[in-house]
Chains A and B, each alone.
Chain A
Amino acid sequence: MKVTRETVTGWLQAAPLTVVLLGFLVAPIITIVIVSFWQATEFSIIPAFSLENYEFLFGSPVTYKVFAATFKYAFLTWAMTLAIGFTVAYYLAFHIRSQTMQIALFLLCTIPFWTSNIIRMISWIPFLGRNGIANQTLISWGVIDQPLEWLLYSDFSVILAFVHLYTLFMVVPIFNTMMRIDRNLIEAARDNGASGFQTLVHVIIPLTKPGIMIGTIFVLTLVMGDFITVRFMSGSQRANVGRLISNDIALLQYPSAAATAVVLLCTVLIVIGILLRFVNIRKEL
C-alpha cells in the first residue's frame, strides 16, 4: 500500500478522535473483560483467571428474571416510542407546510433533549404520587374513589419515564428520513388512486424504514443500558441489568459487576447486529 500525503493528513486529523476512543472506550471495555475473570474479597479485587463470576451469574435465577425485565422494558418502550415518534414525525414532515413552522416545531420537540434527564424524572413526582395531580384529578372526576397506588414506583412509571425521555430519539431519525422522501412519489401514489392510508402503508412506511431502524437502535440500547431511570422511577423496587451492575459496584464487587457488564454488552451487540441487517447506517448519513 502506498502511503500518500493525503493518507497521512487523514490519519493526523483522525488522531484525536482515535486517541479518545482508544483510551475511554476500547481500554475500558478490555479492562472490564479482564476484570470479569478476577476474584473479589470483601476489601479488594485479586487478579486471577476464574469463571466464578460467570458461573454465579448464569447459575442464579435472579439473572434470568432481571434480563427478562430488561427485555420487557425495552420492548414496551420501543413499541410506544415508535408509535408516538412516527406519528409526530409524520405530522411534522407531511402536514406542516411552512418550513419555518417545521423548524420551530421540530426544535420544540428537541429542546428537552438538551436539558437534564434527572430533573425530567423528578418532575413526574408531583404528577404520579399518591396525592399527585393524576390521582387528585381522577378522584375529583369520580372515576376512582381510592388513590391509585401503581402510578408511581411501578413498572408503569418506569416505562412512562422511558417514553418521556427517549421518544425524541425516534422522532429525529424518522423525521430526517421522511424529509428526504421524494414528494413526487406521494403525488404519484395519489394520482394512481391510493387513499391516504394506502400511501402511508405502501409508500411512506417502507421508505421510512432506515429512520425507524436507527431510532430503534437508539431506544433499545438506551433502555437496555439504563440503570438510573429504573432505580429512580421504581423507588428501587424494580430491577434491570443496569441496576444489577450498579448494585455490585456499590458493594465494591467489581469482578462480578464486570461479568454482568460483559453479558449485557454481548446482549446489546447481538440486538444491534440483528437490527443492522435491515439498515446500512453509513448510507443514511
Chain B
Amino acid sequence: MEKRPRSFYVLTVIFALFVLFLYGPTITIGILSFQGPEGGLTFPMRGVSLNWFHELFQQQAVGDIWGAFRRSFMLGLLVMVTTVVVSVMAGLAFRKKFPGSGILFYLTIASLVIPSILISLGVGLIFNQLGLKVHWATSGFGSQLTWTLPFGLLIMFAVFNRFDKSFEEAARDQGASAWQTIRFVVLPIIAPSLIGVALFGFTLSYDEFARTLLTAGSYNTLPLEIFGMTTNVTTPVVYALGTLTTAFSLLIIGAFLIAAWIMARRRARLGSDAGKGV
C-alpha cells in the first residue's frame, strides 16, 4: 500500500480534536452527574454518588419530567410513523413528473430553512385566532412535521436516485399489479433506508425545542422541561437529567443503526445467487 503523506497525520490529529470537541462536553456532564451530594456544577468532584439521579425521581424536586418524557416519547413515535409514511408517499410521487411538483419541492426546502420560531409563532397565532387550544399532539405535532418531513423527503430522493428500476419492470413483466410491485418489490428494497427516515423522525422530534415552544400548550415536552430547569435549578440534577436523556437518545440511535445493519447483512446473505449455479 502507498505510504501515507505527512498531511494524513496532521489531519488525523485535527479530526481527533474535532471528535473530542463534539463529545468532550457531553462526557464531562456525564461524569459530573455522578457528583457527590455536596458537589457543585463544576469540578472538583466531591465524592461519587447517584444522589442527583435519585433526586430526579422525587416528585417535588423538579417539575413533571416523567410526564414530559412520556409525552416526548409518544410524540416522537407519532412523528416518526407519520414522517415515514408521508415521506415514502411523497418520494413515490416525485418519481413522476406531476404538475405542481416544482412548487412542492421548493416548499419542502423552504420548510427546512425557515427559522423555527416563525413556525412556532405562526401556528400559535392560528390556533389562538381560531379559538383552539394548542396541544403537543395537535399543533406541536404538526409544527414538528415541518422539520422532519424535509429530511425524510431528502433521504427518499437519495434512495430513489440510486434505485434500480429494472426490478420494478421485472415485477410488472411477471404480472404484478402496481400495488403488488410497491408492496413486494419496492418497499422491501428501500426498507433499510426507511430505518434512516424513522431515526430522523424520532430523534428530531424528541429533541425539538423551538418549534414546540409556542405550540405545546400547558403540557411541556421534555426539551421544554429541561430548558425550564436550566433557569431555576442550579444543582447537578440538570446534568443527571441531561445524561439520562442523552443515554436514551444513544440507545435509540444504536437500536436503529443495528437494525439497519442487520437488514443490510440479511440482504447480502439472501440476495443474488448469480454465479452460484453452474
Question: By the criterion CB–CB under 8 Å, are B98 and A258 in contact?
Answer: no
Residue in A20, A26, A32 whose beta carbon sits within 8 Å of that of B145 in the complex: A20
Cα distance A258–B115 when bound, in Å? 13
A6 proximal to B (CB < 8 A): yes
Question: By the criterion CB–CB under 8 Å, are B126 and A14 in contact?
Answer: no
Question: By the criterion CB–CB under 8 Å, are B119 and A28 in contact?
Answer: yes
Question: By the criterion CB–CB under 8 Å, are A29 and B209 in contact?
Answer: no
Residue in A14, A24, A27 whose beta carbon sits within 8 Å of that of B89 in the complex: A14
Task: State which residues 18-66 of B face A: CB under 8 Å.
Answer: 18-19, 21-26, 28-29, 32, 41-43
B69 proximal to A (CB < 8 A): no
Report chain B residues within 8 Å CB of A90: 11
Distance in angstroms from B265 CB to nearest chain A CB is 13
Cα distance A126–B210 when bound, in Å? 24
Residues 256-278 of chain A, each 1 if its beta carbon lies under 8 Å from chain B, else 0: 01100100110010001000000
B181 proximal to A (CB < 8 A): no
The stretch of B153-161, B164-172, B184-192, B270-278 that contacts the partner chain: B153-161
Question: By the criterion CB–CB under 8 Å, are A87 and B23 in contact?
Answer: no
Task: State which residues 19-68 of A face B: CB under 8 Å.
Answer: 20-21, 23-29, 31-32, 35
Question: By the criterion CB–CB under 8 Å, are A24 and B146 in contact?
Answer: yes
Distance in angstroms from B126 CB to nearest chain A CB is 5
A71 proximal to B (CB < 8 A): no
Question: By the criterion CB–CB under 8 Å, are A227 and B230 in contact?
Answer: no
> Known interface pairs A115-B207, A258-B125. Does A125 touch B41 (Cβ–Cβ under 8 Å)?
yes
- Residue in chain A with minimal CB distance to B96: A10
> Known interface pairs A91-B11, A228-B209, A285-B158. Does A123 touch B101 (Cβ–Cβ under 8 Å)?
no
Report chain A residues within 8 Å CB of B94: 14
Residue in B4, B8, B41, B97 whose beta carbon sits within 8 Å of that of A126 in the complex: B41
> Known interface pairs A1-B99, A119-B245. Does A13 touch B90 (Cβ–Cβ under 8 Å)?
yes
Question: By the criterion CB–CB under 8 Å, are A225 and B117 in contact?
Answer: yes
B80 proximal to A (CB < 8 A): no
Question: By the criterion CB–CB under 8 Å, are A16 and B90 in contact?
Answer: yes
- Residue in chain B with minimal CB distance to A20: B145
Task: State which residues 226-267 of A face B: CB under 8 Å.
Answer: 226-228, 232, 242, 245-246, 249, 254, 257-258, 261, 264-265
Interface size on A, residues (CB 8 A): 84
Distance in angstroms from A229 CB to nearest chain B CB is 10
Report chain B residues within 8 Å CB of A227: 117, 210
Report chain B residues within 8 Å CB of A202: none
Residue in B22, B32, B111, B154 whose beta carbon sits within 8 Å of that of A164 in the complex: B22
A154 proximal to B (CB < 8 A): no
Most buried by B among A115, A136, A232: A115
B249 proximal to A (CB < 8 A): yes
- Residue in chain A with minimal CB distance to B30: A123
Question: By the criterion CB–CB under 8 Å, are A17 and B99 in contact?
Answer: no
Residue in B22, B98, B121 whose beta carbon sits within 8 Å of that of A257 in the complex: B121
Residue in B11, B32, B41, B114 whose beta carbon sits within 8 Å of that of A268 in the complex: B114
Task: State which residues 218-241 of B face A: CB under 8 Å.
Answer: 223, 226-227, 230, 238-239
Cα distance A24–B114 when bound, in Å? 12
- Residue in chain B with minimal CB distance to A34: B125
Question: By the criterion CB–CB under 8 Å, are A126 and B121 in contact?
Answer: no
B193 proximal to A (CB < 8 A): no
A143 proximal to B (CB < 8 A): no
Cα distance A105–B5 when bound, in Å? 20
Question: By the criterion CB–CB under 8 Å, are B11 and A225 in contact?
Answer: no
Report chain A residues within 8 Å CB of B249: 114-116
Report chain A residues within 8 Å CB of B14: 87-88, 91
Report chain B residues within 8 Å CB of A265: 114-115, 118
> Known interface pairs A29-B118, A115-B207, A285-B154. Does A23 touch B142 (Cβ–Cβ under 8 Å)?
yes
> Can you list 6 contacts pairing A with B, beta carbon distance less than 8 Å?
A16-B89, A17-B93, A18-B104, A87-B14, A264-B118, A285-B158
A binding-site residues for B, Cβ under 8 Å:
1, 6-7, 9-18, 20-21, 23-29, 31-32, 35, 84, 87-88, 90-92, 95, 97, 105, 107-109, 111-112, 114-120, 122-127, 129, 131-133, 136, 164, 167, 196, 217-218, 221, 224-228, 232, 242, 245-246, 249, 254, 257-258, 261, 264-265, 268, 272, 281-282, 285
B binding-site residues for A, Cβ under 8 Å:
1, 4-5, 7-8, 11-12, 14-15, 18-19, 21-26, 28-29, 32, 41-43, 85-87, 89-90, 92-94, 96-101, 104-105, 107-111, 113-119, 121-123, 125-126, 128-129, 142-143, 145-146, 149, 153-154, 157-158, 161, 199-200, 203-204, 206-207, 209-210, 213-214, 223, 226-227, 230, 238-239, 242, 245-246, 249-250, 252-253, 257
A-B pairs, 8 with minimum CB distance: A28-B122, A225-B115, A10-B98, A13-B93, A123-B25, A14-B93, A114-B203, A119-B242
